């Protein structure tokens, strides 16, 4: 039986063009970019080229790009690095975020609270997972070190009003970090002037796992998490993964070039799928903002069922999806995102998320029919 993979928010396959681009730096051009010989200089040139290509997509300078091991490290470096530097320089001890962020942001903020004495304000979201920019503004203090917001939510796909939030941050002179891990490939990533830092993970857009980047403007003080030989202009020590950097640059460029065509196409297919599910599954409820959402995300709760049981039934019918984030390993607790949106715990545990590839080009009627059958099977006890 063929399987249809609809868990692309968790990870995507590596694109053939990306494999081809990175292969020489795993085999022939394998030099250490810090080495002062021809082999190392060739690697350094490739690394610099990848940095410039990524900077162009982010709307930043080449020197603003810091390569990381993925989105989690990029978020940790942004939240901890900016906050600790601000504490050292001006005594800042306050972080603003929301309760629906990725665990790497929430746990970084909690680390700052526990170890460095920071206060953390979690600005509430509405029932659609949208944060009111005015609430962000009200939360800011004279000693706020950083605001960290997810551009698009990884579980329900809600997209925030980052332009308004960036304008507020710029006016108040507070660094704004955007977690753009889910936004990459779907939304234009050119950062607003008020954005201090942007996180991207390669494996969400067709690059290998273990590749990521933090774009952080050079004027923003940043305390490194990793100390050593001073690579990445002292902001992230360690021998750079040249092949990974080339892979990420290639994947990001491809995604950005295809975005004007893929976004409206996938959004139309998503809308038809959502309408089909809501019309045929009585207990189905869409989660996330019905308008301000990622083109590739359709997420539901099915009250009176078990989300995990529905997932198993879907897989029996050839559809692979998820119950939400793949990053809270081993957790069977209700989604913190849905709880923050006001969804009751027993309903939150019925969540199922479908996330589509950028090259989706066919209607999802068969998937909607599989959802209807799967929910019915769970309700009837199989």
Q: Which residues are catalytic?
A: 327
Tokens of 200: 């991207």
Tokens of 95: 């972080």
Nearest to 179 by CA among 148, 133, 217: 148
Phi and psi of 145, rounded to 5°? Answer: -90, -40
Please state, in angstroms and rounded to a whole number, the distance separating the CA atoms of residues 241 and 207.
Answer: 13
Using the 8-state DSSP alphabet, how is residue 382 labeled?
-
**Residue recorded with tokens 């080449």:** 62
Nearest to 61 by CA among 223, 257, 220: 220
Listed in sequence order, the DSSP H helices in 183-335 are 242-280, 307-316
Nearest to 8 by CA among 359, 339, 280: 359
Distances (CA, A) of 116 to 78, 83, 85, 109: 16, 10, 12, 10
**Residue recorded with tokens 């962000």:** 136
SS3 66: strand
> 143: Cβ–Cβ under 8 A, 6 or more apart, which residues?
90, 91, 92, 93, 94
Distances (CA, A) of 14 to 5, 47, 244: 14, 20, 11
SS3 152: strand
Per-position b or e across 353-370, b if 16+ CB within 10 A of its CB? bbbbbbebeeebeebbeb
Sheet with 284-286, side-by-side order of all strands? 284-286, 297-302, 351-355
């Amino acid at each position: 039986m063929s399987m249809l993979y609809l868990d692309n928010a968790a990870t995507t396959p590596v694109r053939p063009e990306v494999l081809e681009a990175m292969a020489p730096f795993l085999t022939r051009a394998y030099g250490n970019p810090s080495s002062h010989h021809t082999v190392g200089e060739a690697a350094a040139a490739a690394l610099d080229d990848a940095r410039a290509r990524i900077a162009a997509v982010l709307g930043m300078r080449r020197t603003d790009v810091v390569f990381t091991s993925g989105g989690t490290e990029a978020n940790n470096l942004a939240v901890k690095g900016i906050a600790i530097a601000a504490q050292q320089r001006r005594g800042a001890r306050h972080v603003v975020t929301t309760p629906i962020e990725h665990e790497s942001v929430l746990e970084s903020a909690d680390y700052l609270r526990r170890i460095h004495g920071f206060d953390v304000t979690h600005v509430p979201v509405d029932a659609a997972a949208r944060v009111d920019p005015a609430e962000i503004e009200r939360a800011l203090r004279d000693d706020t070190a950083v605001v960290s917001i997810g551009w698009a939510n990884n579980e329900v796909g809600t997209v925030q009003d980052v332009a308004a939030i960036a304008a507020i941050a710029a006016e108040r002179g507070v660094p704004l970090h955007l977690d753009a891990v889910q936004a990459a490939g779907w939304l234009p990533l050119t950062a607003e002037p008020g954005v201090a830092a942007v996180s991207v993970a390669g494996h969400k857009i067709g690059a290998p796992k273990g590749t990521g980047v933090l774009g952080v403007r050079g004027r923003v003080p940043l305390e490194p998490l990793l100390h050593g030989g001073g690579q990445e202009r002292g902001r992230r020590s360690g021998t750079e993964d040249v092949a990974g950097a080339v892979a990420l640059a290639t994947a990001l460029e491809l995604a950005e070039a295809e975005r004007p065509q893929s976004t409206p196409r996938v959004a139309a297919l998503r809308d038809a799928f959502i309408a089909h599910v809501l019309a045929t599954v009585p207990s189905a409820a869409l989660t996330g903002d019905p308008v301000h959402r990622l083109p590739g995300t359709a997420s539901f709760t099915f009250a009176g069922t078990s989300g995990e049981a529905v997932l198993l039934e879907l897989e029996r019918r050839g559809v692979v999806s998820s119950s939400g984030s793949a990053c809270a390993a081993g957790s069977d607790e209700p989604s913190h995102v849905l709880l923050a949106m006001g969804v009751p715990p027993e309903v939150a545990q019925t969540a199922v998320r479908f996330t589509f590839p950028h090259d989706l080009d066919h209607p999802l009627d068969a998937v909607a029919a599989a959802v209807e059958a799967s929910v019915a099977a769970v309700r009837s006890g199989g």
